[in-house]
Amino acid sequence: MQPTQPQSLPRVIGPWIATAIIIGTVIGSGVFKKGRNVADNVPEFGLAMSVWVLGGLLALLGVLALAEIAVLFPKAGGNYVFLREGYGRWAGFLWGWVEFWIIRSASIAALATMFTESFHDVLRQSIAFGQKVDVLSFWPRQLLTASVIVGLAVVNAYGTKLSGRLQFAITVLKVSSLLFIIALPFAVYAAVAEPTHPPKVTHLRPTWPTGWLGINWSGFGVALVGVLWAYNGWMNIAPIAEEVKEPQRNIPRASLLAVFALIGLYCGANLAYNLVLPRETIIAKDAAGMLSSTPLATEFCAALLGPVGVILASAIVMTSVFGALNGNMLVGPRLLYAMGRDRLAPSKFAELHPRYQTPALAIVVMAAWSALLVLCVGALTQYRDVPKIPLGFMELDLNVPAGKSPFDIMTDFVIFGSVTFETLAVATIFVFRWRIPVTPENRPYRCWGYPFVPALYIAIMGLVLLNFFVNPESRTEAFVGMGFIASGALVYALFFRGRKP
Is the pLDDT assigned to residue 358 strictly greater than 60?
Answer: yes
Mean residue pLDDT across the chain: 84
Average pLDDT of the residues in 246-251: 90
pLDDT at 179 (0 to 100)? 95
Higher pLDDT, 404 or 123: 123
pLDDT-derived band at 267, boundaries 50, 70, 90? very high
Is the pLDDT assigned to residue 321 strictly greater than 50?
Answer: yes
**Winning range, highest mean pLDDT, from 101-110, 130-139, 348-357, 417-426:** 417-426
Average pLDDT of the residues in 345-353: 90
pLDDT digit string, tens, across residues 78-118: 899 999 999 999 999 999 999 998 888 888 988 898 888 88
**Winning range, highest mean pLDDT, from 5-14, 271-280, 384-393, 464-473:** 271-280
| Distance, CA of 223 to CA of 225 (rounded, Å) | 5
Given a contact cutoff of 8 angstroms between Cβ atoms, the answer to whether 334 and 78 are in contact is yes
Given a contact cutoff of 8 angstroms between Cβ atoms, the answer to whether 142 and 382 are in contact is no
Average pLDDT of the residues in 161-190: 87
Question: Is-cis flag, bond preceding 346, omega within 30?
Answer: no
pLDDT digit string, tens, across residues 40-49: 999 899 999 9
pLDDT-derived band at 484, boundaries 50, 70, 90? confident
Amino acid at 190: A
pLDDT-derived band at 399, boundaries 50, 70, 90? low
For the chain, what are the domain ranges?
15-496
| Distance, CA of 172 to CA of 360 (rounded, Å) | 27
Higher pLDDT, 408 or 109: 109
| Distance, CA of 63 to CA of 478 (rounded, Å) | 25
- Residue 183 CB partners (closer than 8 Å, separation 6+): none
State whether residue 44 is helix, strand or coil.
coil
pLDDT-derived band at 56, boundaries 50, 70, 90? very high
pLDDT at 423 (0 to 100)? 94
| Lowest mean pLDDT segment, chosen from 258-262, 356-360, 387-391 | 387-391
| Lowest mean pLDDT segment, chosen from 59-68, 264-273, 277-286 | 277-286
State whether residue 285 is helix, strand or coil.
strand
pLDDT at 160 (0 to 100)? 73
Torsion over CA: 319, 325, 331, 334 (sign): negative
| Lowest mean pLDDT segment, chosen from 173-177, 204-208, 270-274, 462-466 | 204-208
pLDDT-derived band at 222, boundaries 50, 70, 90? confident
State whether residue 13 is helix, strand or coil.
strand
Is the pLDDT assigned to residue 65 strictly greater than 70?
Answer: yes
pLDDT-derived band at 345, boundaries 50, 70, 90? very high
Domain 15-496 sits in CATH at 1.20.1740.10
Given a contact cutoff of 8 angstroms between Cβ atoms, the answer to whether 398 and 187 are in contact is no
| Distance, CA of 328 to CA of 236 (rounded, Å) | 8
Name beta bridge partners: 13: 244
pLDDT at 403 (0 to 100)? 52
Average pLDDT of the residues in 461-472: 86
Q: Please give the C-alpha separations between residue 317 and each of 36, 113, 174, 302, in angstroms, as whole numbers.
A: 15, 12, 9, 14
| Distance, CA of 419 to CA of 128 (rounded, Å) | 41
Burial class (CB in 10 A: 0-12, 13-18, 19+), 2: exposed
